[in-house]
């Protein structure tokens, strides 16, 4: 995937480079500009190739990925502005092609130059759009850079009361912590990651849930972070499930292979070594003072192109008499597609990351991801007493930072009773 993105960047580079040389701006026409432009591109693509094929220090890999992401984002914005100008110029050309008469104005407009009788008032539309494109292309650098410096590891604890009318009395007041989407292959600061786990442990939850994507693609990504996450313990257990990235599809491809099967086994073994109870289409019953609470976990199941390994019916076999069922399922789209047709009370998910960009406050919650996922962050309700909570993730993927949508540690308090905010 990274190499495909590199090819896309190269195409953008050619398009923007020759577009700049066609303008009246002098510097892009110089030899030094060409040397600087293509040297930077070559070094960046070389770094991408090395980081994709070889094992290099995480800090070096992260610098390469940060540079790649910021460069690609800026050039994409710039490309869109140039494309608008080319479409405009194409429209003028078509107009001239079918026009019987060619005016001086049309010729000049097609060339992108200001009209001869008005040379002082401004620059041509093409030059204006090019310079505007430079400014717009540079504009994302400030917030995105700040999101890398400040947002990537700015962990926040979100406290959520969870009302369950059928909750056994022994579990009233019990706390559950949830983290999701660790994506250990993206980390480059062990101290910061440890600080987040310290925050979780200070909450002393009775139970901890992890809802998938412990790696980006390979089990080896957890090598430097396994000991940190192995510290996560709870009196009544730590329960986990798999996400779409844990199956290795994004490295080994979607076809089965011995290497891919071994990688998945190694990912599963990481959970075991850390003492986490990985639920693979199965359930566990927690007992307190003779009463039971059922925790169910399924493998990844998502709509569209995402893997559909999970089997909710299999996981629920033997839970018919349980008063309350809490489900761990990575992808929130699973909720409406299958889970609402079951007697699961609450589903805990992750996956969306809140796109790592947006606004999240008590007054307003917005992210571009909401145009893809109806449920993408926080608590949702359907029917009388069915809930979904979507955690926006502990780690990050692709863009090595967060703007507005900060990494999350959720702490739930189970309360017996009806939710006053959601009356039927």
% of the chain exceeding 70 in pLDDT: 85
Asked if residue 422 is part of any domain, the answer here is: no
Residue 357, classed as helix, strand or coil, is strand
Token pair 């926006």: residue = 392
> In this predicted model, what pLDDT tens digit does every residue of 85-126 receive, in sequence order?
778 777 777 777 777 555 555 545 454 544 344 444 455 555
Q: Does one domain contain both 247 and 352?
A: yes
Q: Does one domain contain both 308 and 230?
A: yes
Q: Does one domain contain both 161 and 127?
A: no
Q: Does one domain contain both 280 and 172?
A: yes
Buried b (16+ CB within 10 A) or exposed e, 26-57: eebeeeebeeebeeebeebbebbeebeeeeee
pTM of the model: 0.78
Asked if residue 147 is part of any domain, the answer here is: no
Asked if residue 424 is part of any domain, the answer here is: no
Q: Does one domain contain both 181 and 54?
A: no
Token pair 């009463």: residue = 291
Number of compact structural domains in the chain: 2
Q: Does one domain contain both 53 and 134?
A: yes
Torsion of CA 79, 80, 84, 86, to 10 degrees: 20
CATH of the domain at 348: 3.60.21.10
Residue 58 neighbours by CB under 8 Å, 6+ apart = 187, 188, 224
Task: Tell me which residue range forms the domain holding 82.
Answer: 2-139
What CA–CA distance (Å, rounded) separates 174 from 124?
A: 67
Among the residue ranges 50-54, 256-260, 314-318, the one predicted with the least confidence is 50-54
Residue 168: Cβ within 10 Å count? 20
Residue 351, classed as helix, strand or coil, is coil
Q: Does one domain contain both 221 and 368?
A: yes
Name the band, by pLDDT with cuts 50, 70 and 90, for residue 51: confident
Domain end marker among 84, 112, 139: 139
**Beta partners for residue 179, in sequence order:** 210
Residue 278 has pLDDT above 50, yes or no: yes
CA distances from 359 to 63, 366, 368 (A): 26, 5, 10
Asked if residue 165 is part of any domain, the answer here is: yes
Q: Does one domain contain both 405 and 275?
A: yes
Q: Does one domain contain both 124 and 182?
A: no
Asked if residue 47 is part of any domain, the answer here is: yes
> In this predicted model, what pLDDT tens digit does every residue of 169-197 receive, in sequence order?
999 999 999 999 999 999 989 999 999 99
Residue 176: Cβ within 10 Å count? 26
Asked if residue 350 is part of any domain, the answer here is: yes
Name the residue with higher pLDDT: 63 or 409: 409
Instruction: Quote the Cα angle for 238-243-248, to 5°.
Output: 120
What CA–CA distance (Å, rounded) separates 29 from 32?
A: 9
Asked if residue 187 is part of any domain, the answer here is: yes
Token pair 């960047």: residue = 9
CA distances from 394 to 67, 143, 222, 313, 411 (A): 22, 20, 14, 29, 13
Contact 242, 299 (CB under 8 A): yes
Name the band, by pLDDT with cuts 50, 70 and 90, for residue 55: low
Residue 213 has pLDDT above 90, yes or no: yes
Counting every residue, how long is the chain?
424
Structure tokens at 381: 């309700």
Q: Does one domain contain both 295 and 393?
A: yes
Among the residue ranges 96-100, 154-158, 335-339, the one predicted with the least confidence is 96-100
Q: In terms of Cα–Cα distance, which of 264, 266, 258, 222 is closest to 243?
A: 264
Asked if residue 128 is part of any domain, the answer here is: yes
Domain end marker among 139, 164, 183: 139
Chain centre to alpha carbon of residue 378:
15
Q: Does one domain contain both 172 and 316?
A: yes
Q: Does one domain contain both 176 and 135?
A: no
What CA–CA distance (Å, rounded) separates 235 from 256?
A: 38
Domain end marker among 139, 173, 194: 139
Q: In terms of Cα–Cα distance, which of 390, 385, 392 is closest to 421?
A: 385
């Amino acid at each position: 995937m990274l190499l495909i993105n590199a090819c896309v960047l190269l195409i953008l580079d050619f398009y923007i480079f020759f577009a700049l040389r066609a303008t009246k701006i002098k510097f892009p026409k110089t030899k030094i500009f060409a040397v600087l432009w293509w040297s930077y591109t070559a070094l960046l693509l070389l770094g991408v190739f090395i980081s994709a094929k070889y094992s290099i220090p995480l800090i070096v890999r992260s610098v390469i990925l940060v540079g790649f992401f910021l460069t690609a984002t800026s050039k994409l914005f710039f490309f869109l502005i140039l494309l608008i100008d080319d479409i405009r110029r194409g429209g003028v050309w078509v107009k001239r092609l079918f026009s019987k008469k060619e005016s001086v104005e049309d010729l000049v407009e097609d060339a992108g130059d200001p009209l001869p009788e008005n040379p002082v008032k401004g620059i041509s539309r093409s030059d204006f759009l090019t310079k505007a494109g430079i400014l717009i292309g540079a504009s994302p650098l400030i917030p995105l850079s700040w999101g890398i410096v400040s947002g990537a590891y700015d962990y926040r604890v979100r406290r959520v009361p969870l009302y369950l009318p059928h909750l056994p009395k022994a579990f009233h007041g019990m706390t559950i912590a949830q983290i999701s989407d660790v994506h250990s292959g993206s980390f480059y600061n062990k101290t910061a990651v440890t600080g987040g786990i310290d925050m979780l442990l200070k909450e002393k939850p009775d139970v901890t849930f992890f809802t998938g994507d412990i790696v980006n693609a390979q089990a080896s990504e957890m090598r430097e972070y396994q000991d940190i996450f192995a510290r996560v313990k709870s009196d009544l257990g730590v329960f986990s499930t798999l996400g779409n990235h844990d199956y290795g599809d994004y490295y080994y491809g979607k076809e089965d292979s011995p290497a891919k099967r071994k990688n998945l086994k190694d990912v599963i073994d990481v959970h075991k070594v850390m003492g986490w109870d990985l639920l693979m289409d199965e359930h566990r019953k927690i007992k307190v003072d003779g009463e039971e609470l059922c925790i169910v976990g399924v493998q990844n199941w998502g709509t569209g192109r995402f893997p559909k390994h999970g089997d909710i019916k299999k996981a629920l076999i033997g839970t018919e008499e349980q008063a309350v069922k809490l489900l761990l399922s990575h992808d929130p789209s699973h909720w409406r597609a299958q889970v609402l047709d079951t007697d699961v009370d609450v589903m805990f998910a992750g996956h969306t990351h809140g796109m790592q960009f947006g606004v999240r406050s008590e007054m307003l919650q917005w992210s571009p991801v909401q145009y893809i996922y109806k449920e993408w962050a926080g608590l949702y309700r359907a029917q009388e007493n069915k809930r979904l909570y979507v955690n926006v993730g502990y780690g990050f993927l692709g863009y090595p930072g967060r703007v507005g949508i900060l990494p999350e540690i959720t702490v739930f308090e189970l309360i017996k009773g009806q939710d006053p905010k959601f009356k039927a």
